[in-house]
Amino acid sequence: MFRNFGSFSAILKQRHFTASSVNAGVRQFSSAAATQTQQQATKSRPEGFPWRLVAAVCVIRFPTVSPEKIELEKRYEEMRTQETTERSVLSEYELEQRRRAKEQREYEERVAGEEEIDFESERRRAEQQSRHEEADELHELEEQELKSFEPAGCETECDVQNDRRSSNRRLRDTLYLLVKKQRSENAWQMPQGGHDGTESMRQTAERELREECGSHLVVKFTSNLPCNFFAYKFPAEQKSWDETIGAKVFFFKAYYESGQVEINREELEDFAWVTKDEMRDYVSSDYYSNVVKFLSS
């Protein structure tokens, strides 16, 4: 637009603008904008430090056996069983019973009518009667065995020993995996770790679970999106060496499929499979009040 910088400077002088005044105005505007931005940031971060991003994994082991039926469910099951039995087709044994009863009535009628019955017919009838008695005895034994059958109990050896490191416990309940950090306070939590800035939060969750609990634990993540969010601040002494004021934890759900937990002893001290109610004895009240929102019954 302008042929040279001299003509541009001349126009600035005519309009009472100079390069120094323009720069001063820009600096003043930038300083004001920066101050306003800093004030806004200070409202959400009082100490002016950033938050640390953390991905956590809620590993869920679903019940492996059906829950015990309540009284209403038991009565309904009995009613449906009776209805199904009444409407069902006769079994081979029941059809055989009816045929034998018919033959017996015909035989008794012939005997009552003094009809002559040859020796060979009597012999065959005696053999059939012997086979029928054996079949009846076998059927009766099967019925007694069925009535005396009791399903195996749901209490395992791990329940007896109260071994909470095993997922083979509390088979009727949903269990959750907790790990214990190497610290004195708030040591128990779900497997979690910091985001390194180059991966997605889902990838962070997968990596941290593998690093803390080993590669033999097989789980299935349910989504690329977190199911819940939890933020907490670090103690004051930690802020002196760490430029973060706290952590923002994003929880991802993963279903347990197989394998055993092999914790990283350099980071963790222990682990446990616990129910929702048992979790109260491990984690802090603030932590529990946040995670209980997405825990199953």
pLDDT value of residue 76: 94
Structure tokens given for 89: 């087709």
Task: Encode pLDDT of 174-197 as tens digits.
Answer: 999 999 999 888 899 999 999 988
- pLDDT (average), residues 158-169: 94
Picking from 183, 184, 179, the residue whose alpha carbon sits closest to that of residue 58 is: 179
Distance, in Å, from the CA atom of 194 to the CA atom of 278, rounded to the nearest integer, reads 27
Structure tokens given for 274: 């616990």
Distance, in Å, from the CA atom of 106 to the CA atom of 122, rounded to the nearest integer, reads 14
Contact 189, 179 (CB under 8 A): yes
Distance, in Å, from the CA atom of 234 to the CA atom of 183, rounded to the nearest integer, reads 14
In the chain, DSSP finds a helix count (H) and a strand count (E) of 9, 8
Contact 32, 40 (CB under 8 A): no
- pLDDT (average), residues 148-159: 85
Q: Among 92-106, 107-121, 220-234, where is mean pLDDT lowest?
A: 107-121
Gyration radius from the chain CA atoms: 39
Alpha-helical regions (H) of the chain:
5-14, 19-44, 71-87, 92-112, 119-148, 157-161, 201-213, 236-239, 285-291
- Taken in order 252, 258, 264, 268, the sign of the CA dihedral is positive
Alpha-helical regions (H) of 58-192:
71-87, 92-112, 119-148, 157-161
Distance, in Å, from the CA atom of 239 to the CA atom of 172, rounded to the nearest integer, reads 44
Contact 270, 34 (CB under 8 A): no
Distance, in Å, from the CA atom of 176 to the CA atom of 279, rounded to the nearest integer, reads 8
Task: Encode pLDDT of 234-258 as tens digits.
Answer: 877 766 566 788 889 999 999 999 9
What percentage of residues in the chain have a pLDDT greater than 90?
44
CA 112 to each of CA 120, 125, 128: distance values in angstroms, whole numbers, following the listed order: 19, 17, 21
Q: Among 102-116, 192-206, 257-271, where is mean pLDDT lowest?
A: 102-116
Q: What is the mean pLDDT of the chain?
A: 80
Picking from 146, 187, 201, 184, the residue whose alpha carbon sits closest to that of residue 272 is: 187
